[in-house]
């Protein structure tokens, strides 16, 4: 079964994709469907757009089914940062509010909250990771006060893959009446996730990493009681009467998630996401997840035998995918040169080099990478 998943990504270009925590390639079927829809739109214009919009709408229910939410709890945006900003600014936090983030958040999950805290004349409180960059709930607990209104942290951290215990987070926040908004982009598609049983208030993500779909597509999942709660970031025809309605002072806002989606949608990106989700759902996230972990642990073991130090928040066994490694004698310049020469993608993310295998990677990819760094 996992072989069928790997085959769905088969390419002849000789590239090895080990920066899937950055931007992942798409399955062949996704590429072909996007091409087909692009051709329909390019040639058909207004003749084609209605059917293509309808097709793109499938992505909402497919994403909901994959991540445990109803379609009417999901709004789409241009990127993950916009989805996060919709919550950060849409909550219109009261004066003096405090918001909690970790000290290693990706900028897209840091700056919206910094600005939201500034606008509320409050404070962004920074939870301190451990020396190994782990993200225990105690670190959040240490900076929460009675002024804390939102805990806005990443589920999986982007530099070295630290995983936050979402069950503990939700229980902790609920007991204190604090809202949770979690950036799940580094976890969705990599680890099992069920929004509606997570107890989280909001979850934000994007399509181009572990969901191996086109760039420029973010999503926001909201608890049902929050769907009509946020002040929209943007407004347009679709967030009011629709394309065919005349502008009018009295037109009410569209209800539900449409109130956040102001105009023509990202049809190609949505269609691409939908197509990949069909493949991922058929394969099953559990199977994808264990294959990723197997590859990541083989990679970490191989690098260790070549003198690399693995910077892991998980101890000996890597959880998830991210392997962050450095070498005492090989410089980062030398390491990246070798990877570039071998056409292996990577990212430099302190404290070291970040390699992030997906389940479509093969044992041969891992062996070639270890060989290149030997
Ligand atoms: C934790 C996290 N959030 C968000 C993003 C991406 O945000 P955006 O798609 O808005 O650029 C990344 C990408 O690296 C990430 O690691």
In this structure, the answer to whether residues 277 and 288 fall within a common structural domain is no
Q: What is the pLDDT of residue 10?
A: 86
Mean pLDDT of the chain: 97
**Token digits of residue 12:** 């002849």
In this structure, the answer to whether residues 190 and 41 fall within a common structural domain is yes
Measure the CA–CA gap between 218 and 274, rounded to whole angstroms: 13
Q: What is the pLDDT of residue 11?
A: 79
Last residue of a domain, one of 236, 263, 282: 282
Estimate the share of the chain in helix, then strand, then coil, as percent rounded to the nearest 5: 45, 15, 40
CB environment 57-84: b (16+ within 10 A), e (fewer): bbbbbbbbebbbbbbbbbbbbebbbbbb
DSSP string, 165-213: -HHHHHHHHHHHT-EEEEE-TTTBTTB---HHHHT-SEEEEESSSTT--
Model confidence over 49-58: pLDDT tens digits? 999 999 999 9
Q: How confident is the model at residue 42 (pLDDT cuts 50, 70, 90)?
A: very high
Q: What is the pLDDT of residue 12?
A: 80
State how far the alpha carbon of 98 is from the alpha carbons of 88, 230, 348, in Å. Answer: 12, 18, 32
In this structure, the answer to whether residues 349 and 271 fall within a common structural domain is no
Last residue of a domain, one of 282, 297, 317: 282
In this structure, the answer to whether residues 6 and 69 fall within a common structural domain is no
Over residues 142-157, mean pLDDT: 98
In this structure, the answer to whether residues 150 and 81 fall within a common structural domain is yes
In this structure, the answer to whether residues 267 and 325 fall within a common structural domain is no
Q: What's the CA-to-centroid distance between 172 and ligand 1, angstroms?
A: 25
Q: What's the CA-to-centroid distance between 337 and ligand 1, angstroms?
A: 25
Over residues 145-155, mean pLDDT: 98
Q: What's the CA-to-centroid distance between 50 and ligand 1, angstroms?
A: 31
Q: What is the pLDDT of residue 194?
A: 98
Model confidence over 293-314: pLDDT tens digits? 999 999 999 999 999 999 999 9
Q: What is the pLDDT of residue 239?
A: 96
Last residue of a domain, one of 264, 282, 300: 282
Answer for the pair 53, 265: CB distance below 8 angstroms, yes or no. Answer: yes
Domain that residue 351 falls in: 2-27+284-372
Report whether the peptide linkage leading into residue 371 is cis, meaning its omega lies within 30 degrees of zero: no
Query: What is the CATH classification number for the domain harbouring 205?
Result: 3.40.640.10
For 95, other C-beta atoms within 10 Å of its C-beta total: 8
For 293, other C-beta atoms within 10 Å of its C-beta total: 19
Q: What's the CA-to-centroid distance between 127 and ligand 1, angstroms?
A: 19
- Please choose, from the candidates 271, 296, 266, the residue with its C-alpha nearest in 3D space to the C-alpha of residue 190: 296
Model confidence over 309-349: pLDDT tens digits? 999 999 999 999 999 999 999 999 999 999 999 999 999 99
In this structure, the answer to whether residues 274 and 157 fall within a common structural domain is yes
Model confidence over 105-141: pLDDT tens digits? 999 999 999 999 999 999 999 999 999 999 999 999 9
Q: What is the pLDDT of residue 177?
A: 98
* pTM for the model: 0.98
Looking at ligand 1, which atom is closest to the CA of residue 208?
Answer: 9
Q: What is the pLDDT of residue 361?
A: 98
- Asked whether residue 60 carries a pLDDT value surpassing 90, the answer given is yes
Residue with CA at minimum distance from ligand 1 atom 16: 158
- Asked whether residue 206 carries a pLDDT value surpassing 90, the answer given is yes
**Token digits of residue 16:** 């090895």
Model confidence over 161-174: pLDDT tens digits? 999 999 999 999 99
Residues 124, 130, 131, 132: is their CA dihedral positive or negative? negative
Q: What's the CA-to-centroid distance between 42 and ligand 1, angstroms?
A: 30
In this structure, the answer to whether residues 14 and 38 fall within a common structural domain is no
State the total domains in the chain: 2
- Asked whether residue 242 carries a pLDDT value surpassing 90, the answer given is yes
Q: What's the CA-to-centroid distance between 331 and ligand 1, angstroms?
A: 27
Q: What's the CA-to-centroid distance between 107 and ligand 1, angstroms?
A: 8
DSSP string, 110-156: THHHHHHHHHTT-EEEEEPP-TT----HHHHHTT--TTEEEE--BSB
Task: Enumerate residues lining ligand 1, CB below 6 A.
Answer: 79-81, 106, 108-109, 154, 158, 183, 185-186, 206, 218
In this structure, the answer to whether residues 87 and 222 fall within a common structural domain is yes
Q: What is the pLDDT of residue 59?
A: 98
Residue with CA at minimum distance from ligand 1 atom 6: 80
Mutate to test the pocket of ligand 1, among 19, 103, 106, 187 (most ligand atoms within 8 A of CB): 106
In this structure, the answer to whether residues 190 and 305 fall within a common structural domain is no
Answer for the pair 218, 184: CB distance below 8 angstroms, yes or no. Answer: no
Over residues 260-274, mean pLDDT: 96
DSSP lists the bridge partners of residue 324 as 354
Measure the CA–CA gap between 348 and 353, rounded to whole angstroms: 5
Q: How confident is the model at residue 210 (pLDDT cuts 50, 70, 90)?
A: very high
In this structure, the answer to whether residues 140 and 123 fall within a common structural domain is yes
Query: What is the CATH classification number for the domain harbouring 293?
Result: 3.90.1150.10
CB-count exposure of residue 145 (10 Å: 0-12, 13-18, 19+): exposed
In this structure, the answer to whether residues 217 and 349 fall within a common structural domain is no
Residue with CA at minimum distance from ligand 1 atom 13: 22
């Amino acid at each position: 079964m996992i072989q069928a998943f790997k085959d769905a990504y088969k390419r002849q270009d000789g590239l090895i994709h080990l920066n899937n925590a950055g931007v992942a390639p798409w399955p062949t079927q996704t590429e072909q469907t996007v091409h087909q829809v692009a051709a329909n739109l390019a040639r058909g214009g207004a003749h084609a757009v209605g059917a293509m919009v309808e097709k793109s709408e499938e992505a909402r229910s497919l994403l909901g089914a994959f991540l445990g939410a109803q379609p009417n709890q999901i709004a789409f945006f241009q990127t993950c940062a916009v989805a996060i900003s919709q919550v950060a600014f849409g909550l219109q936090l009261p004066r003096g509010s405090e918001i909690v983030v970790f000290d290693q958040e990706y900028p897209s999950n840091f700056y919206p909250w910094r600005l939201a805290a500034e606008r509320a004349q409050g404070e962004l409180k920074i939870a301190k990771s451990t020396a190994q960059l782990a993200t225990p709930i105690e670190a959040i607990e240490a900076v929460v006060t009675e002024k804390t209104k939102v805990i806005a942290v990443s589920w999986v951290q982007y530099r070295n893959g630290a995983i936050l215990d979402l069950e503990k987070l939700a229980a902790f926040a609920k007991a204190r009446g604090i809202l949770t908004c979690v950036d799940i982009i580094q976890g969705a598609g990599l680890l099992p996730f069920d929004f509606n049983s997570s107890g989280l208030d909001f979850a934000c993500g994007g399509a181009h990493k572990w969901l191996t779909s086109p760039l420029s597509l973010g999503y926001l999942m909201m608890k049902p009681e929050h769907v009509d709660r946020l002040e929209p970031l943007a407004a347009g025809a679709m967030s009011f009467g629709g394309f065919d309605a005349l502008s009018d002072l009295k037109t009410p806002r569209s209800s539900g998630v449409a109130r956040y989606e102001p105009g023509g949608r990202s049809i190609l990106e949505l269609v691409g996401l939908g197509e990949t989700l069909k493949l991922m759902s058929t394969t099953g996230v559990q199977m994808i997840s264990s294959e990723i972990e197997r590859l990541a642990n083989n990679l970490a073991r191989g690098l260790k035998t070549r003198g690399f130090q693995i910077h892991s928040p998980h101890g000996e066994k890597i959880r998830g995918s991210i392997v962050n490694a450095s070498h005492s004698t090989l410089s980062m310049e030398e390491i990246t040169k070798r990877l570039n020469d071998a056409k292996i993608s990577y990212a430099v993310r302190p404290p070291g080099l970040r390699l992030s295998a997906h389940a479509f990677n093969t044992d041969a990819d891992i062996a070639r990478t270890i060989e290149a760094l030997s």
